[in-house]
Amino acid sequence: MTSKDFTEQGVAALKEGDKSKAHDLLRQAVELDPKNAKAWYFLSRTQTSIADKRASLEKTLELMPNNKPAREALDNLPPEDEDFSEFEDESEPVKSGSGYTPPTSYGIGSGIKPKIGGFQIPVAIPDAPDYVEPKTIKDDFITTVKNGIEILRRTPGVYPMEIQRASWWRFWQFSVIAWIISGIASTLGGAILQAQLAATFNNSAFGAELFPTPSIFVIIISAIISIPIGVVVLYAGLYASHRFVVGNRNGQGSFVAHAYAITLPVVTASLISNVTSLVLSFVPFLSAIVSIALLVLLIYSLYIAGQGLGIVHKVDNKTGYLTVFVLIVVQFVTGFIIALVLSPILLTSGMAFM
């Protein structure tokens, strides 16, 4: 991501009332490009220290001497010994004319009604807000996917930045939505391919038995259960690989940073692979060719994840790759066990509705 990208996302977060997120994004923008006047100006609007605000505004005017909003903001700054920190949790909007933008989400129990259109998270997730809006979740997911793509492209600075922002809320938010999309896409793609094979070989008794027409019931059930199965398999691999690198290779990273570092490239690549396979499932021969490229992409994402683990745990890349291997083995075993348990159930249910 470029400094301009971080600036645009930071301004968007500021408009939505998420000052913390805006501050992180705009800080990244000025670090990538110290001459980004727009980023310096909006960074000043996320800062509580008057000294920091003054420094950011002075930097803005140094780059853009005729910038009127920055000049007015600088002239209107109170004395530097005044403290803003005690007002950070102020829940009531300031009177009009102050330039204050109310936050877009509120904590339950603060005495303020949540914004219409949001919802309370039904499960307890560390670092999660008490109340969220669908638009915020969607925007965060899109941003994380874009950053995941930049990580696969090896854009400098993006991977370490995302690792620093690791939290269980960001991890589960990204993983669950990605697995929902991937689960639906892979199930539909498999059903389309099976239907095409059934139509091709329906004149042969052996072919009809080998490639039966897919049952709608089985398709729906497969789509529903593939999502929690995917999450369980992913978490099992993450947990085992973290135990391995911390217990056997002196890894120093937290579990959440470990999980997030792997999830960013791998789940992004999986999402791209499943959606692409669905789109190309209507062209079987082309799909078979592209599948090879998508497999290479998944392998490449694991390679990138190994390097990310090196950053998280402060170990060499060889240890990172070995940790990824442990992840793959545990996920394969977990998936195989789940398949053994569920296959008879799905087969029986499918036959009952045929």
Over residues 97-134, the pLDDT tens digits come to 333 333 333 333 333 344 445 667 777 787 777 777 88
Domain-located, residue 175: yes
Q: CB-hemisphere CA count at 13 Å for 13?
A: 24
Give residue 221's Cα distance to chain centre.
26
Q: C-alpha angle with apex 40: 39 to 45, nearest 5 degrees?
A: 95
Q: Which residues contact 30 (CB under 8 A, 6 or more apart)?
A: 3, 36, 39, 40, 43
Domain assignment of residue 180, yes or no: yes
Please tell me which residue, 196 or 334, carries the higher pLDDT value: 334
Please check whether residue 149 lies inside any domain of the structure.
no
- Judge whether 132 lies within some domain: no
Greatest pairwise CA separation for the chain in angstroms? 87
Query: Do residues 90 and 194 both lie within one domain?
Result: no
How many C-beta atoms lie closer than 10 Å to residue 344's C-beta?
A: 9
Beta-carbon-side half-sphere exposure of residue 73 (alpha carbons within 13 Å): 26
The CATH number assigned to the domain holding 39 equals: 1.25.40.10
Q: pLDDT-based confidence at 327, cuts 50/70/90? A: very high
Distance, C-alpha 337 to centroid of its chain: 28
Counting Cα atoms < 13 Å in the Cβ hemisphere of 308 gives 32
Task: State the total domains in the chain.
Answer: 2
Whether residue 116 is contained in a domain is answered as: no
316, exposed or middle or buried, with CB in 10 Å at 0-12, 13-18, 19+?
A: exposed
Mean pLDDT of 148-164: 88
- Asked whether residue 178 carries a pLDDT value surpassing 50, the answer given is yes
Domain presence at residue 152: no
Is residue 130, in this structure, part of any structural domain at all? Answer: no
What is 301-328 written as a DSSP string?
A: HHHHHHHHHHHHHT--HHHHHHHHHHHH
Per the rule left: phi > 0, alpha: psi between -120 and 50, beta: everything else, 315 is beta
- Containing domain of residue 182, as a range? 158-352
Q: Which of 78, 103, 128 is the last residue of a domain?
A: 103
What's the pLDDT score for residue 197?
58
DSSP letter, residue 274 = H
- Structure confidence at residue 353 (pLDDT): 42
Here the tokens at position 189 are 């793609």
Residues 81 and 183 in one domain: no
Domain co-membership, 233 together with 309: yes
Say which range, 281-295, 303-317, 325-339, has the weakest mean pLDDT.
281-295
pLDDT of residue 214: 55
Confidence bin at 166 (pLDDT 50/70/90): confident
Q: What pLDDT score does 247 carry? A: 92
Identify the band that residue 284 occupies on the pLDDT scale cut at 50, 70 and 90. low
Domain final residue pick, 80, 103, 126: 103
Q: Are residues 307 and 210 in the same domain?
A: yes
Residues 178 and 314 reside in one and the same domain: yes
% residues pLDDT > 90 (the chain): 27
Q: Are residues 251 and 347 in the same domain?
A: yes
Sign of the C-alpha dihedral computed for residues 88, 93, 95 and 101 taken in this order: positive
Residue-wise pLDDT for 203-248, tens only, equals 555 444 555 555 565 556 665 676 678 778 888 999 999 999 999 9
Statement: residue 292 has pLDDT above 90: no
Query: How would you classify the pairing of strands 131-132 and 119-120?
Result: antiparallel
> Are residues 271 and 162 located together in one domain of the fold?
yes
- Reply yes or no on whether the pLDDT at 329 is more than 90: yes
Predicted pLDDT at 255: 93
Section 310-332 average pLDDT:
94
Instruction: Tell me, yes or no, whether 91 and 176 share the same domain.
Output: no
Same-domain status, 204 and 293: yes
CB neighbour list of residue 253: distance below 8 Å, 6 or more residues apart: 242, 245, 246, 261, 309, 312, 313, 314
What's the pLDDT score for residue 237?
94
Q: Tell me if 88 is assigned to some domain.
A: yes
Global pTM value:
0.59
Residue 165 CA to residue 152 CA, distance in Å, equals 18
Q: Are residues 193 and 326 located together in one domain of the fold? A: yes
CB 233 within 8 A of CB 338: yes
Rounded distance between C-alpha atoms, residue 23 and residue 19, angstroms: 6
Higher pLDDT, 53 or 204: 53
The pLDDT value given to residue 352:
43
Q: How confident is the model at residue 52 (pLDDT cuts 50, 70, 90)?
A: confident
Q: Which residue(s) pair with 132 in the sheet?
A: 119
Mean pLDDT value across residues 138-165:
88
Tens-place pLDDT, residues 15-40: 888 888 888 899 888 888 889 999 99
- Does 307 have pLDDT greater than 80? yes
